[in-house]
Each structure stands twice: as C-alpha cells, then as structure tokens.
Structure 1
Amino acid sequence: MTLGLYVHIPFCRHKCLYCDFPSYAGLERYRDGYVQALCRDIAASPYAGEEADTIYIGGGTPSLLAAGDIDRILKALRQTFRMTSHAEITVEANPDSLDYDKAAALADCGVNRLSLGVQSFSDAMLSFLGRVHTAAQGERAIQAAYDAGIHNLSLDLMYGLPGQTLADVRRDVERLSQLPVVHASIYSLIVEEGTQLKAGLEKGDWQLPPDEATEAMAQTVHDAMHGYGFHHYEISSYAKGPFESRHNSKYWTYEPYIGFGVSAHSFDGKMRWANVANIPAYIQKAGKGSVVSESVAIDAERAVEDYCFLALRRRAGIDYGDYARRFGKAIEDDFGPVIDQLVRQGLLERTAQGCCLSEEGLGYGNYVFSKFIR
C-alpha cells in the first residue's frame, strides 16, 4: 500500500471563534519537546519502510514553527518511510506567520504545496472570526509563497457567516481569482459544539444568515469558481488542472493514511484510531509506548458504508467497478434500492462508472450520506 502521512501541529496564536480543532494558544513552551516527540513517534512507527506519496502538516498553525523544525520533521519522515520522488508535501500556514523568507526556507526543506488559512478578504469579518491577520496580509502571504517558488498554492474561504452578505462572498471569490492560487477549499460554516461561535449564537449575540441566503452563497461560489477556471471535484474543494489535493483525496477514496501528533487520526484499511489529545502526555509517551487513545475495527458492514459516503463527497462519486474489486460484490447487492430511490428524488445521478451527487444533491449531502448508513 502507498500511504499518506499526516502530522498535527497543535499550536496557534489565537483560538478562532468557530474552531473546534485540537489547537491551543499560549503553549509555546511545549514546542521544542513536541517536535522531538514527533520525531520519536515517526521513527517508532510500525509502518516504517512502507511507501508514502503525500505528507500533510496541519494544525493548528504549522507555520508558527521555525522552518528548521519543519525540516527535522520531514527528515524523520523520509528516514522512516520510502517517499516517492513525486510526493506532495503540504504545510498549512496562516498569513501572519508566512513571509517570503519563511516560504523560501520551507521550499528548501522540500515543501512543494502550501495551504493558507485566509477565510475571508473582509477585515471586518476577519476581526469578527478572531483571525489575527488582515486581508492585505493574506494577499501578501500568497504572493510571497509564489515568489519563493511554491506554485501549488491553496487557500481556504468560508461563507454562511453571521453578518456576511452575498456581495461579500462574491467579492471574496473575485479576489481569490486575482491571486496565483490553483486550489481552494471553500466551506459553508458549520457551528460546532464547544466553540465561542456556538455560545454566542445561543446567547443571541449573532445570527446566521437564513438558509436560503446560504444556499445562494453556495451557488454563487460554484458558478464563479467555474467561471474562473476551477473545477469542482469535492463538495468544498476546487482546483485548476491537475492540482487537486492528493493527500485529502486519500480520505475520500478510502486509501490508508497514518497520523502523528496529538489527536491525529489514522486508517490502514482495517482499523481507525486516534492519538491522545493531551500535549504533555503525548510528549511523554511518543516513541516509548503507545500514544493511541481510541481505536475501532472496521467490519465488513461499516467498510462499505464508509466507502460510499466518502466517495460521494467527490464529484466523481462512486465507481461501481472499484466497489466490486474492493468488496467482492456488486454495489447493488448492498445499496441498490437506496441508489434507485435517491436517483428518483433527483439527489443522485448515474454516471458511466457508477453514480454521483446531482447538482441538487450537493445541497443535501448529509441527507444522501445518511441513506448509506444502515
């Protein structure tokens, strides 16, 4: 098998309003020990010697680390795994911690893709979200990365935010189109439990846009991105030409990935597991004992369910031939009536290879996915 490798960096400068990721501000004192623990954890991997073709360093804010620390982590991965010559190596970055010198140093380490957390090109919206950068800093960071030689650039944007208008979303996508990016992840806001956003909404401090307004934003994003030369390859993901995220695609195409760091998740085709969420505990245990906090075996019934709803996130949808090769039976044996019903409802459409979400189905993805959970 060819693996994807994920490394989680849990440090951030400030916790954003909407964030429920395992990231923490004010814990800089753990950084050196954490990088050392990561290297021990990587070296002790039971998958040492396996081939890997993607590395994704996410967070948190990985760009808060010194380029030398990123280099140490990448060297540990290269020494432990057989990296292909064409490996995609991504680092997430925030605009406040990325300039030309940092981007050039990352390029020297072998980083060939950056994913920048821009989120909005409105200073008012960035301030509301708790972001610590301005719209101008976002644009400068992207241009700096390009000038430093990293041309596989992705950025994140959000819509459906309190106080956001359709015109705001249209301006965000227009500004994206003027930058040297070849990939974008454009997300509809999800209000997660335990976030400052959730608490504020419950208190009535803010209000989300009406559903019909958020749906109009989604359609505006979809139409504009196509007009700017991007293709829509996953529910929230757009790319130019061949620049789809190869690492993230592993998640959606049921390929194996191994995670390192606190709260990192892994999947080897038969098991899913997650690491401990506590930074000091991870530092103490990494490379010396198990850092796994929970695991679950994927039985045959769950495997086909997971495969289907993950594949349906991609615009290409489910490939019936791939399903039969993986599971030794036709998809109709498991989900024939479900697929027929969703096609009649106009939420799925048949393709030459199988089926995929229809244009209407894109707006009801969670409902469609739920029909494949038995």
Structure 2
Amino acid sequence: MAAPSNIRINPFIGDGGTTNYVDFTEVHIIPAVSPFVVRLNEVPQKKDPSNMKVVYVNETTGAPTTTALTEVAATPGAGEFRPDYSTNADGDEDWNTGLIEFSSADAGKIIQVSYTGMGTLAGVKNNRFPSWWLDRGDGSDGDFVPTGNTTISGLKQYRSVFIPAGVTVNINRFVKIKCQGAFINLGTITVNNRVTSGGGSDSAGQSGTCSVGGAGGSGYRGYGGAAGGALLGNLDISQDITYYGAAGGGGGQGGYIDEYGSYGGAGGAGGGSICILANSVCITGNISATGAAGASSSNATYRGGGGGGGGGGCIIVVANSIKNTGTLSVAGGAGGAGNQSGATGGAGILALKELGVM
C-alpha cells in the first residue's frame, strides 16, 4: 500500500539525523463544519501527551486569552482537543499528520497553538491543487495586527492576520497576502489607488486616452468616447498574473466646438486587486475592490459625453476553510453624467475557494 500523499513524516527517522526542535506559535480558526480539524504548519514533535498548549483568542482584539483547552486522548468535548488523532496512518507509527481534532461545540472559534516542531516543512506536496493555492509564504513579515488605519501593497508574507473592527487597511493598487495561519478581517480592506482612468475627448473631438478596459465613455454629435478593452492585466510581473479592473473610457466632446467646445468626462479608474492565500479565513468586515465612477461633462449647456465607469477589480481568497459573513464587492463604477451618460463599468472577479482539510 502506498503512503498517503498528504501526510507528513519526520524526515530524520531511520537516517541517524538529529532533529533541531523549534518552538512555534500559530493562530488558526476551527472549521465551522465537520471535520473540526486544524492542520499545523510544521511537523510536531511526537509525544504522548503532547507539549501543545491551545488557548482561545479574543475575537474582538485578536489577543490570546488565558483560557486554555484541555488535551484528551479520546473524542474531544467542548474546551478540549486531541492531537494527531489519525497517527499510525499506513500502519507506520512514525507518520505524523500534524492534525488536531476539536469538538463541534468549538466550531468557528479562533485559537492559538504553541508547540515544538521539527523545524522543517518536510512533506509531500498535495498535487490535487495548483501549487500557488498552497503557497502560504514563509511568515517573514510576522503577525499583522494593525491598531489603526494603514496602507500595504505588493507581496506580504504573514504568520497570521487580524484586522480589528473599525480599522481600515488601504491597498495601494494590489496586494498578494500569503498567510501561514488564520486570516481574520473584522474591519475594512479597500483598494484606494486604482488603475489609471481614461481621459475625456480633446478639443478636436478625438477619443481621449484610455488604459485597457472598463466601459467606453458616451459620445455626442459624432465624437465617440474611448473604447473599453480587456479585463486582464499584470500590475507587477514578479507576482505572476494579477487581475485588475480596467479604466473606463473618456466621454466624447460636446458639439459646436468653435464656440462652445467642452470636454467629455474622464473615465473612472479601474478597481485594484487583492489575493489572499491562507490556512483559514474569517471575514465579518468588508473587502472592496470596486471601480471608480466616471466623471461628468464639464459644460452644463453644451455637454460632452459622461465618462465610462471603471471596471471592478479582483478579490481572490484560497484557504482550507473560509467563513464569510462580510461584504465583498468588485462592482464597476457608475457612468458620469453628460448629454449622454457614460456606461457603468463591468463587474470584476470575485473567487472564494475552500480546499478543506488536507
């Protein structure tokens, strides 16, 4: 019988090697539905009873409490946990799953686990999913627990994330968050700097500039707005493909250009991008990657076309377990007012992928 492809083993067993034990602390969310199992990020040291310490985390502040759960050797009840409940997989006592079983009474609760590990992620990669779905980084950026409004962008590699209620995390165009433990958002995440907007028509009645995508602006008297383009781009080549909302087209110029020429409204900026790769995710707050509204025409009497709304951006969440009772939006922006209103930007990409316990 072949060994399970998704269970890890101590690589030092039988090789005469010396294990360099390392102490770890991780934050996880107990799944809301069965099986109520959490998988540790490292191979834990084999002991019976274990040296694990599991405490509840305050769900308002993100701070660990002093209320510890009790380790048991049988099926756990409320306030209890059982480590490595499927040890001896494949008939080999050296297999170590790194799994912890909890009671249904604790489903959805946030916990902090402290334990001694082998100091290696020695394991066979699960080949059921694309490799980037399982890439949760190296934790080099530590725990992210902002106490006030802040801005982040680019690649972030956290051990855990806890955004309290009332705190806003602004994303500068795009971010890819790799999180080894729990990602918890009780506050607001918003992409505040979007993709460049399309311009309005110039005084000669030509289409204004427009980056790829979004809704085209509305023209007037034959001067059409800039056309929309694709809803796929790459904001940073180092981060693989990053989807983002396209900018809206600029509105066409108004009529009677010799006397009353007026510019069409500028297209709205496209929504930015956020990608979250985590062990577990809980969202009760908001994540917004919306397109901006198109601008209105500048002349109230001889109006040009309104600018097209920016296309919605991208929100991607991939985790073993996802609990989402918040608001996630990738809506396109409204068209600007004019002799003819600009079109509303198209919706972006919203994808939540729950992998289950592996």
- TM-score between both structures, scaled by the size of structure 2: 0.26
More strand by share: 2
More helix by share: 1
Which structure has the greater CA radius of gyration?
Answer: 2
